[in-house]
Amino acid sequence: MNHPAIQIRGVHKHFGALHALKGVDLTIEQGEFFALLGPNGAGKSTLINILAGLIAPSAGNISVMGFDVQQQYQQARQLLGIVPQELVFDPFFNVREMLRFQAGYFGLGRENDHWVDEVLEGLGLADKAHTNMRKLSGGMKRRALIAQALAHKPPVIVLDEPTAGVDVELRQMLWEFIKKLNRDGHTIILTTHYLEEAETLCSRVAMMKQGQIVALDSTASLLNKFAGKHLRLTLGEVQLPQEVQSLVRHVERGVYTFALTDMIQIESVLASLRASGIKVADMQLNEADLEDVFLSLVGNAAAESKLVSQA
């Protein structure tokens, strides 16, 4: 029987009074390149920690390739590679030894060496294979930790914010390698703050908000649903006329984003603002992208929390 790569059924998680996950249901098929998006505090990390068997759900269950992450922890964990967890490494190992050790921890011996070579090559670590872990620069250490999560050739790979704070060269290299793994049949699940990454790479997207999935669809169909133009006007602190308020998709620091289905609407919005004596300081017209979908679904709460954290 062909099990889904990941099956999440009715997962709830309480931390004291906080209801972090409120009944998450999600099936990810083998071979998918899947994005899990949501603002901080939406529950993505909690879900991944349950998937990794690090915390137990308050209700519901998760299985990886048919193995329950609670009841059959070892089998499930063997099938999963999570990048980057805070992984511990022995400072006395060189990079290749560490990867061999990691694979050995999952019961794989020398027969796995060609895979270790492929990972070293794919992440630009081949010339560092015999370098001691302690002597690696920050960027190379990051690569080695990504390699460590993949050392046991897991069929299901979770990339949890893998490129946050990563240099462009590593980001491009990582994506080339991950796309190749996906073509070879590995299932990839990506959480990211960089929405253009999800848009370019992932065929299906789930968006989370306050512990629930608020959208689940193919990337193309989400973009279609929100197709159109986005008119960004810098207006400052103003009271918008009633007739244009319904077109506002997002407001941040005096910049208003209007969702338009028709170019004629641009003129009517501008005319309406002129009639109210509102001056336009700057104007941009963009195609809708995943960020627009994200903002309209997870709402301005995400933007507000961003503003609060910057304040």
Does the pLDDT value for residue 227 go beyond 60? yes
Name the band, by pLDDT with cuts 50, 70 and 90, for residue 44: very high
pLDDT of residue 88: 64
Q: Indicate whether 171 pLDDT > 80.
A: yes
pLDDT at 309 over 50: no
Q: What is the per-residue burial (b if ≥16 Cβ within 10 Å, else e) of 127-156?
A: ebeebebeebeeebbbbbbbbbbbbbbbbb
- Assess whether pLDDT exceeds 60 at residue 115: yes
Is it the case that residue 89 has pLDDT exceeding 70?
A: no
> Please, what CATH class does the domain formed by 6-219 belong to?
alpha beta
For the domain bounded by 224-310, which CATH number is listed? 3.30.70
Task: Determine the Cα–Cα distance for residues 108 and 111; give it in Å rounded to an integer.
Answer: 7
- Cis peptide leading into residue 154 (ω within 30°): no
DSSP β-ladder status, 187-191 and 67-68: unpaired
Contact 144, 136 (CB under 8 A): yes
Is residue 284 classed exposed, middle or buried when 0-12, 13-18 and 19+ CB atoms within 10 A define those classes?
A: exposed
**Which of 86-90, 196-200, 270-274 shows the lowest per-residue confidence on average (mean pLDDT)?**
86-90
Is 91 a residue whose pLDDT tops 80? no
Q: What is the mean pLDDT of residues 84-112?
A: 83
Radius of gyration (C-alpha) of the chain in whole angstroms = 23
Indicate the helix (H) or strand (E) that contains 300.
helix 300-310
pLDDT at 288: 74
Whether the pTM exceeds 0.85: the reply is no
Could you tell me where the beta strands, DSSP code E, fall in 29-182? 33-37, 59-64, 67-68, 80-83, 156-160
Confidence category of residue 55, pLDDT binned at 50, 70, 90: very high
Domains 6-219 and 224-310 share a fold: no
**Average pLDDT of span 227-242:** 85
C-alpha to C-alpha distance for 187 and 296, rounded to whole angstroms: 28
User: pLDDT tens-digit profile of 253-269?
Assistant: 889 988 887 778 888 89
All structural domains of the chain with their residue ranges: 6-219, 224-310
Mean pLDDT (the chain, rounded): 88
Over residues 163-183, the mean pLDDT reads 89
Phi, psi (5° rounding) for residue 150?
A: -105, 0
CB atoms within 10 A of CB 103: 23
Q: At 155, is the pLDDT very low, low, confident or very high (cuts 50, 70, 90)? A: very high
